[in-house]
Amino acid sequence: MKRIIKAVIWVVVLGGLGYFAYTKLGQNKAKLESDAKLTQERNTVIPVTTGKVEMAAMSGEFNVVGNFAPFQQVAVMSETAGKIIALNFNNGSIVQAGANLASVDNELLRIQLETTKTNLAKAENDLSRLQKLLGEGGVTQQQIDDAKLGIQNLKQQIKATEKQISMSYVKAPISGVVTGKMVERGSLIAPAMQLATITNISRLKMQVYLTEEQVVTVKKGQRISMKADLFPDRNFEGTVTFIDVNADNSRRYLVEIEIVNLGDTLKAGMTGTVFFKGGSARQVLSVPREAIVGSLQDAKVYVVEDGKAVLRSVVTGAVFNSHVQVKEGLKEGETIVVSGQINLEDGMEINVAGN
């Protein structure tokens, strides 16, 4: 009887514990689901800061960031096939235009040249004897003409072989520094194979891209000042040598400014800022630079319409101070989103800060 009572007690206790655990788990699950729903809830009204599309004074002076490009850069190419038997350069070697950089085995060509010269000497002697016999009636004029033609062919063969021998020597096309060495002594090469690159940075070309409003204020031969990002305390000066007549896909015009690179201080690929002066100031439609979404080449702006942010494509022009010129897509007085765009999507409701 006692055993039965103990068994009943254990069943009651275990049942109570099970019910308690089940109830507690259910409560925890409900709380987790509630928290998850709260986390997933999205605030559909985004706080932003706005500004106005307005006219601003754009100065005739403007600064443009550009890159320093080498004055000359040429690939060293082979003109013949064969094995390199002499190599006269390494990466970093300074070479002069016309210097012999490499020699390709040309022994067979030299043997061919000597053989052709010997045949030419014999043919000239034969022609001399035939000409003496012509007056005695021992030979015909046709034989004389054939002998002369044979001599002419041999002379052309000599010229061709000498040209092939000269092509076995790889010459430096320009003066500069050797980079990108791709061969060693003993390498087998083929025609039109690149052996290295020669870069001339004794002068550099600063390359910048200007808008149509900017490019019309620049003249070829104009003196321009600039700074290199790596040397902010030094001033450099150059001359405009090229103004492109065709715009690129982003409606920018390439302008090149040539500078003397004393001591090879600057390197190709460095960046800098060019300071243009001389244009006249004028009023242009503009927006703050931070209002632009994306790049200036594919610019977009959020315009406030009926409490919503509407994404609109615009055509931009020059960048000046902290503003960007707007050519198409906006009207003066329209309200635009200046900050908070990172959380926006087209057509979302917004809450202007301060309202």
Domain end call among 136, 166, 189: 189
CA dist., res. 128 & res. 130, Å (int): 6
- Domain span at residue 243 reads 62-71+197-276
CATH number of the domain residue 268 falls in: 2.40.30.170
Q: Among residues 265, 261, 243, which one has the least CA distance to residue 253?
A: 243
CA dist., res. 297 & res. 279, Å (int): 24
Helices and strands in the chain: count of H runs, count of E runs: 4, 21
Those residues with Cβ within 8 angstroms of residue 340's Cβ, 6 or more apart along the chain or in another chain? 46, 47, 48, 49, 350, 353
Q: How many CB atoms lie within 10 A of CB 47?
A: 14
pTM: 0.65
Per-residue pLDDT of the chain (355 residues; tens, 9 = 90+): 556 666 556 555 555 555 555 565 566 666 666 555 544 445 567 888 898 999 988 777 788 899 999 999 999 999 999 999 999 999 999 999 999 999 999 999 999 999 999 999 999 998 888 888 876 667 788 888 898 999 999 999 999 999 999 999 999 999 999 999 999 999 999 999 999 999 999 999 999 999 888 888 899 999 999 999 999 899 999 999 999 999 988 888 999 999 999 888 999 999 999 998 866 777 889 999 899 998 877 889 999 998 888 999 998 877 777 888 898 899 999 999 998 888 888 888 888 875 4
CB 187 within 8 A of CB 103: no
Tokens 């320009």 appear where?
A: 174
Overall size of the chain counted in residues: 355
CB 271 within 8 A of CB 65: yes
Whether 99 and 184 map to the same domain: the answer is yes
Burial class (CB in 10 A: 0-12, 13-18, 19+), 198: buried
Whether 221 and 153 map to the same domain: the answer is no
Whether 218 and 256 map to the same domain: the answer is yes
Tokens 């015909």 appear where?
A: 140
Whether 272 and 313 map to the same domain: the answer is no
